[in-house]
Amino acid sequence: MRTSLSVLVSFFLLAAAFGEETPSLTASMRLTPTVLAVRSVLPWVVNIGTERMVKTNDGYDAFYNQFFGTFYRARTKMVKEYFPLGSGVIVDSRGLVLTNHHVVRRANNAEVRLWNGKSYPAVLVGYDAPSDLCLLRLSGDFSAKPLQAAKFANPDDLMLGETVLTIGNPFGLEHSVSQGVLSAMNRSLNDGDAVYDDILQTDAAINPGNSGGPLINLDGELIGINQAIRNDAQGIGFAIPMRRLACFLSHWLLPDRFGNTWLGIDLWTPVMRGEQGVIVQEVVAGSPAAAAGLRSGDEIVAVNASRVRCMIDFGRAVWHLNVGDQVTMLLADNRKVTYTLGPMPDNVLIKTRLGLQVQRLTATLNQALGLNVDARGLAVSEILPEAEFAVQNAPWRNVLKRGDIIFQAGSAETATTADLAKTLAETRAGQVLRLGIFLMQFQRPDQADFILN
């Protein structure tokens, strides 16, 4: 009897012990690489939408109509409603968001909703139409509590068949996760006027609203931005690869884009990937950077003590700098270049924002152009080609010609380059500025809206 009792007690003790361990064992088995990757990524995936006005009826309209018929006038009012457009990725902790250009192209305003439910208005910084990429900036101060930004994969570190995840807002269903594999690399995709030959293909579900969201690996690293699906098939989705994302961001994450700060690096060919850091392709002659000893071909490995391993690291380190800030660049040959950032000269500012070179009208030039001798304004002397990864396909490029006259910027007259530069000094990339232009070909004044660079 004692033996039987001892066995029974031992059985219950073992059962209790195993019963306590089972939940923790089950929990640990559920924490798969997929779950861990999703947990790390969710804070930097955003929902992008817009506000639209919709008409709503009073809830008692049906009741009143039933009893009063034609004598009752329905009470309606207009209210704001959030309308989801797509997804995006936080690429800098200070509030920069990367998405597809087609997501926000037709929106009058954009609102970005974070993982924690907070929403912020967003303004355009810049876009590249052929690449279908767009950079937005949230209207908020994140210096006290920086946002969590994306972790970027090495562009060359892709494995065919590896597990990948998409996270986005299909049909407005926020932060939806789907899983698949990397089906192919370097696919060709014809999207209207643009042809891509570096596209990633995946069978992870990409639906309307996923556009602009991340394609990630199981390390929680961004490897692409979801772009499109093949409508006549299932399980065939496409994403823009990390290499193109890095090139796009390197063109826009520069202080010259966000204000009147002059970094001194040519914006048409800023930096390229090096062995240890990034290589400066061209330093602008006469800039503080050139005066401090920075040369074309120098490889930068750190900026203000922040390690620079890739083009995005460099952009994150410099885009927020302002006039008067000091910058110290450590080069691969152990040289240090230190200089204070200044404002852009007038001609550099005009070239940067408008992509134009202009000259002031003089009596001699007026006579050559067939204008009144006392005509005032700025003659367009050169229309610069759009930089790669900053192509707008702006309508004004089909109209404006060399020799046309800019006589107004916004509400200000532009009799001199200083007049035009004064207006541009208060602007940033992504803003729209209306120019008054006299078109020599048609001998008439006109207006053109410029999305500033």
425 and 355 inside one domain: yes
Element (H, E) at 121: strand 119-128
Same structural domain for residues 97 and 74? Answer: yes
The rounded mean pLDDT for the chain is: 89
Domain span holding position 360: 346-451
User: Do residues 301 and 246 lie in contact, with contact meaning Cβ atoms separated by under 8 Å?
Assistant: no
Residue whose entry in the numeric block shows the structure tokens 């966000």: 258
In a domain, 228, yes or no: yes
Same domain, 288 and 366: no
Taking residue 110's Cβ as centre, other Cβ atoms within 10 Å add up to 24
pLDDT level of residue 58 (50, 70, 90 thresholds) = low
* Residue 202 tokens, joined: 């995946």
Q: Give Dmax (Cα) for the chain.
A: 124
Two tokens at 423? 């207006």
Residues that are catalytic: 102, 132, 211
Q: Are 425 and 410 in contact (CB under 8 A)?
A: no
Residues 181, 268 within the same domain? no
Q: Using one digit for the tens of pLDDT, what is the confidence trace for 237-288?
A: 999 999 999 999 999 999 999 999 999 999 999 999 999 999 999 999 999 9
For residues 391 and 386, what is the distance between their CA atoms, to the nearest angstrom?
6
Q: First CA to last CA across the chain, in angstroms? A: 91
Tally the domains of the chain.
4
116-175 pLDDT tens trace: 999 999 999 999 999 999 999 999 999 999 999 999 999 989 999 999 999 999 888 889
Q: Determine contact, residues 366/375, Cβ cutoff 8 Å.
A: yes
Would you state the structure tokens that stand for residue 140, as one six-digit string? 């908020």
pLDDT digit string (tens) for 343-401?
999 999 999 999 999 999 999 999 999 999 999 999 999 999 999 899 998 999 999 99
Q: What is the CATH number of the domain that holds 101?
A: 2.40.10.10
Note the pTM of the prediction, 2 decimals: 0.87
pLDDT above 90 covers a percentage of the chain that reads: 77
Angle between helices 417-424 and 346-354 (to 10 degrees): 60
Answer whether residue 74 is part of any domain: yes
